[in-house]
Amino acid sequence: MRLTEVMEETIMQRRQFCRGALALGALSLAEFGPWQGISAFAREMDEFIRGPVVRDIPLQQLSPHVWMIYSPDGFPTPENQGMMCNLTFVDTSAGLVVLDTGASVQIGEMAIRQLARQFPGKKVVALFNSHYHGDHFLGNQAFVEAFGDLPIHAHPGTVEAIAGLQGNSWRTLMEKWTNQATLGTRVVVPNRPVQHGQEFRFGDVTLRIHHYGRAHTPSDICVQVLEDQLTHVGDVAMDRRIANMDDGSYVGTFKFYEALEREAPSSIWVPGHGHPGPDVLGWNRELFQGIYETCVAAVEAGRSMEAAKELVLQDPRVSSRARDTRGFETHIGKYVSLAYLEAEASAF
Ligand SMILES: [Zn+2]
């Protein structure tokens, strides 16, 4: 039986259970009074309606203090159950710190299983969410359930977005894209707004926050691990993947890279998607220059968006990346449209 069939059957069984539980819920309302009944019922439902366990992906070490669970896929499907984003961990003498928690409670739980194997008895002491896209924060719940009321750090704009529309809409979208494999996931909003330049000391390790305006979203943070010359960049830069740039800025991204290279010199850049390494910013910068600079030239020459798209596809900085870049076919059109609009806006 294929995985999707197993999942469909599981979901069917759960729906049948729910119909039964609804009747029981009505009973408990009568028995315990309305509020008690509703909250107990909601809790029971929440605990029962859960997508299946996510398969283990072992930790790999990137530097003396930093470990990662690498996600081979870049986009959510029913088969990968939303496993589309790397999870990064900092091993400090004061406990483990998690940089981005994955797209579901099940992914967070999978990560906790790997941590327990590698670091028996060691606790997670803090979480950081790089931005408000669901694959970077929907795993928060698993860590809070396992380790109690943790500090969850994020840019104030990210806190506001997750508490607002972005939180629930990402939760719902992830359920849809994975054919409900992420069911049971709740939005756990970051509770510690952070500022650019802020430093956190965890035992023998220091983390420094970097934010230089709009790049992938208006409120991305990058987390530098000072002792390791390594910086976690979230989705500000990706490796061999392009996607969601709806809230981002090309010019802002170029500025962000320049500032990062100056203020957080690193021998390893850790992206949310793709492999970490010394050239992640370089790879992404050249792709974006191929797109944006071509659009600027097209706008200046009075050419249409369609003409700009043709020119972008012919640009060697873009065409050389087409074959091994995940999401290229589906996203390049929208990427160019956004670049063209930004070029047009900046021309006035
Ligand atoms: Zn993102």
Task: Tell me the average pLDDT across 164-190.
Answer: 97
Query: pLDDT tens digit string along 144-168?
Result: 999 999 999 999 999 999 999 999 9
What is the Å distance from ligand 1's center to 273 Cα?
9
Q: What are the two backbone dihedrals, phi and then psi, of residue 87, each rounded to the nearest 5 degrees?
A: -115, 135
What is the Å distance from ligand 1's center to 216 Cα?
7
What is the Å distance from ligand 1's center to 97 Cα?
20
Query: pLDDT tens digit string along 291-313?
Result: 999 999 999 999 999 999 999 99
What is the Å distance from ligand 1's center to 108 Cα?
17
Residue 199 has pLDDT above 90, yes or no: yes
Query: What distance in Å separates the CA atoms of residue 185 and residue 72, rounded to the nearest whole number?
Result: 22
What is the Å distance from ligand 1's center to 248 Cα?
10
What is the Å distance from ligand 1's center to 247 Cα?
10
Residue 258 has pLDDT above 80, yes or no: yes
| pTM listed for this prediction | 0.85
What is the Å distance from ligand 1's center to 74 Cα?
11
Provide the pLDDT for residue 324. Answer: 85
Provide the pLDDT for residue 45. Answer: 63
HEC secondary structure over the chain: CCHHHHHHHHHHHHHHHHHHHHHHHHHHHHHHCHHHHHHHHHHHHHHHCCCCCCCCCCCEECCCCEEEECCCCCCCCCCCCCCCCCEEEEEECCEEEEECCCCCHHHHHHHHHHHHHHCCCCCEEEEECCCCCHHHCCCHHHHHHHHCCCCEEECHHHHHHHHCHHHHHHHHHHHHHCCCCCCCCCCCCCCEECCCCCEEEECCEEEEEECCCCCCCCCCCEEEEHHHCEEEEECCCCCCECCCCCCCCHHHHHHHHHHHHHHCCCCEEEECCCCCECCHHHHHHHHHHHHHHHHHHHHHCCCCHHHHHHHHHHCHHHHCCCCCCECHHHHHHHHHHHHHHHHHHHHC
Which residues line ion ligand 1, judged by CB < 5 Å? Answer: 133, 235
Query: What distance in Å separates the CA atoms of residue 117 and residue 288, rounded to the nearest whole number?
Result: 40
Provide the pLDDT for residue 348. Answer: 73
Confidence of residue 3 (pLDDT cuts 50, 70, 90): very low
What is the Å distance from ligand 1's center to 3 Cα?
27
What is the Å distance from ligand 1's center to 214 Cα?
13
What is the Å distance from ligand 1's center to 235 Cα?
5
Right CATH for 60-278 from 3.60.15.30, 2.60.120.620, 3.30.70.260, 3.40.50.1110: 3.60.15.30
Q: Where are the domains of the chain?
A: 3-48, 60-278, 286-347
Query: pLDDT tens digit string along 74-111?
Result: 899 999 999 999 999 999 999 999 999 999 999 999 99
